[in-house]
Structure 1
Amino acid sequence: MPLSSLFSGTPDRSRRALLRGFALSPFAVTGFGAATTAARAEAQDAGLIAPNACILTPEVTEGPYYVDPGLVRADITEDRQGVGLEMKLQVVDTECRPIEGARVDIWHCDALGNYSGFAGQGSDARADTGDQTFLRGTQASDARGIATFRTIYPGWYRGRTTHIHYKVFLDENTVLTSQVFFPDALSEYLFRSVAPYNERGAERDTLNGADRIAQAAGDGAFAFVQEQPDRYVAALVVGVSRDARSPASGGALVPPRQG
């Protein structure tokens, strides 16, 4: 049900109080699926997919490995091996109303810490994936503001904690660039116990608390993660101001090509 329907007939003052309550609800980021039952229920009742509701998402660096291949696809895995992940990003405005038709791009490294589309990168600065497009894609948000991607749980590389990059385009000028972060406990378990993550012969050097970008992004940038029999499902509510103008937009958008 659209968020506007859930709030129809509700006085603006009461609605704002409810949204503030979401924003102030405790949201644990040290474990996965750790939000309180009450916070999860309130978010679900309001049509939201995660309890990090109604917090404007801060702009953070897009990182060194952004390209715009224009790949419009829900499954971005290609040939990459790893634990299945369904990544859901729900785009909402400052009143927590879903934004339909936003363009959402995501990209992240594989289990070994390598991105597609670049040479001389990865933890060993030797990988050349310049002609590849794995773990990159574009989707349009649906009527509930949700863009869903099928991928793998991201790995790590030196100097950064585990993360997924994303961009949200509302139009030619309104662009949000940010990152999604994951619970350390879950990442540590996968990286130590599950192939191919545990085949690297090294332990990651940066946890969430030591990552300056994660700290700048704040608690609202941590995904709410639930375990399913065949994958993990990660959800994040992304608050975007329609009046915002991103310094990272760089002018007119390049229309995505189908593929």
Structure 2
Amino acid sequence: MGTPPPHAATPTLPPTYEGRALPRPDEEVVDQGLRFDVDTLLSRRRMLAFLGIGSATLGLAACGAGPGSSAASTSSSAASSAAAGTGSEIPEETAGPYPGDGSNGPNVLEESGIVRSDIRSSFGEMSGTAEGVPMTLELSIADLANGGIPFEGVAVYVWHCTREGGYSLYSDGITDQNYLRGVQVADASGTVRFTSVFPACYDGRWPHIHFEVYPDQAGITDSANVIATSQVALPQDVCATVYAEEGYEASVSNLSGVSLSGDNVFGDDGGASQLATVTGNVRSGYTVTLPVRIDTTTTPTGGGTGGDGAPSGAPGGGNPGGPPR
């Protein structure tokens, strides 16, 4: 018998990486050249975009940074910082005719005792307590001029109307009260908290809470030091629930006659960045939260005592003793 012919040799396939042939088969993957590296990066970006994963993570992978590397740690910190500063600066709004900051009549910010967390009762030489559904207000202040970090140390002055729709120091019957006004200094997380009562909806305005931000506690006695003036909008469903409670009767019809889109303060954008998140119930109370982003490199354009409407029975702006408007 003759010798059987030898089997045909199996062809050798060129080495590949992620399904692509290596242009330099004898070299390591990291030594395939710039064009190959760029193609690899683009290919991974397309895949991660499909999966919904950010390209920042991809950049670290392409640079060879492992999960425990300093580069990965830096990326995590940067992401956290970016998250804290996400969003635009809160809109500047009017302080309205009842600020109590000295810009239109009385200046409660000069009074000893104004720095407090529970603002339901009057203080100093005044006495009295505002009634209503309990509310905790939490504002988280971010410093956009410094990458959105918590704005520790700023002083936040908050004020709002009673459940009947009046403002202490200004409205008929409560000019001898200074409740529902107070200042807190932001903690390390940039947060201030106030214990209060849920405000009414008075004729012509969407339910809201006023606030001013000052650089520090020492500067609160002069409204010229304000670095931001704005308002918190309250959600309609929560307002409707609260206004079914005793003492809020007038707010039911007032709420039915207004809208966020038609409000003279929130109407330009429907309160997009001023609409609070609210949790809780009428029995245990509500917690109202809002992130407040401030850019101190821009010039404040809010403030002033006009354009906010006036609750019935309260004097108008610019003249503390003037007629309602």
Give the TM-score normalised by structure 2.
Answer: 0.57
Secondary structure in 2 aligned to 1:212? coil
Post-superposition offset of 1:216 = 3.3
User: Contact 2:140–2:292 (CA<8 Å) still a contact in 1?
Assistant: yes
Letter in 1 for 2:131: Q
| Deviation by residue 1:66-88 (Cα, 9 ceiling, x = unmatched) | 01312111000111111110000
CA deviations on 1:36-65 (whole Å, 9 max, x unpaired) are: xxxxxxxxxx6x9xxxx5331010111111
C-alpha distance 244-169 of structure 1, shift in aligned 2 (>3 A)? farther
1:81 aligns with 2:131: yes
Structure 2 residues without counterparts, runs of 5 or longer:
1-71, 102-107, 122-128, 220-224, 305-325
The residue that corresponds to 1:54 in the other structure is: 87
The separation in 2 between residues aligned to 1:189 and 1:106, in whole angstroms, is 23
2-structure distance, mates of 1:89, 1:8? 29
How do 1:86-105 residues align onto structure 2 when only pairs under 5 Å count?
86-94=136-144, 95-105=147-157
| Alignment match, 1:245 | 299
Could you say which structure has the larger radius of gyration? 2
Residue in 1 aligned with 2:209? 164
Q: CA RMSD in A?
A: 2.6
Deviation for aligned residue 1:128: 3.6
Separation in structure 1 between the aligned mates of residue 207 and residue 215 of structure 2, nearest angstrom: 27
Residue of structure 2 aligned with 1:153, choices 198, 203, 207: 198
Question: Kindly tell me: are residues 154 and 96 of structure 1, through their superposed partners in 2, closer, same or farther at Cα, counting changes over 3 Å?
Answer: same
> What per-residue deviation string (whole Å, max 9, x for no partner) do you get for residues 107-130 of structure 1?
0001110000114xxxxxxx2422
SS at match of 2:117: coil
Question: C-alpha distance in 1, partners of 2:204/2:97?
Answer: 13
C-alpha distance after superposition, 1:5-55 (max 9, x if no partner): xx9622787568x54xxxxxxxxxxxxxxxxxxxxxxxxxx6x9xxxx533
Give the corresponding residue for 2:265. 213
> Which residue type is aligned with residue 182 of structure 1?
L
Letter in 1 for 2:213: V
CA distance, structure 1, for counterparts of residue 215 and residue 73 of structure 2: 25
What count of residue pairs does the alignment treat as equivalent? Answer: 203
Residue identity in the other structure for 2:189: R
**Paired residue type of 2:233:** F
TM-score (norm 1): 0.70
Partner Cα separation in structure 1 for residue 91 and residue 302 of structure 2: 13
Percent identity, aligned pairs only, is 30
Q: CA deviation at 1:206?
A: 1.6
State the shift of 1:196 in Å: 1.2
**Map 1:4-15 → 2, pairs under 5 A:** 9-10=74-75
Structure 1: runs of 5+ lacking an equivalent: 1-6, 20-45, 120-126, 251-259
Runs of 4 or more above 6 Å deviation: none
Q: Which amino acid aligns with 2:142?
A: V
Partner residue, 1:27: none
Contact 2:136 2:287 in 1 (8 A): yes
Question: Would the alpha carbon gap of residues 216 and 103 (structure 1) be closer, same or farther in structure 2, given more than 3 Å must change?
Answer: farther
- Measured after TM superposition, the shift of residue 139 of structure 1 is 0.6
Instruction: Quote the residue 2:3 is aligned against.
Output: none
CA contact (8 A) 2:117 2:194 kept: yes
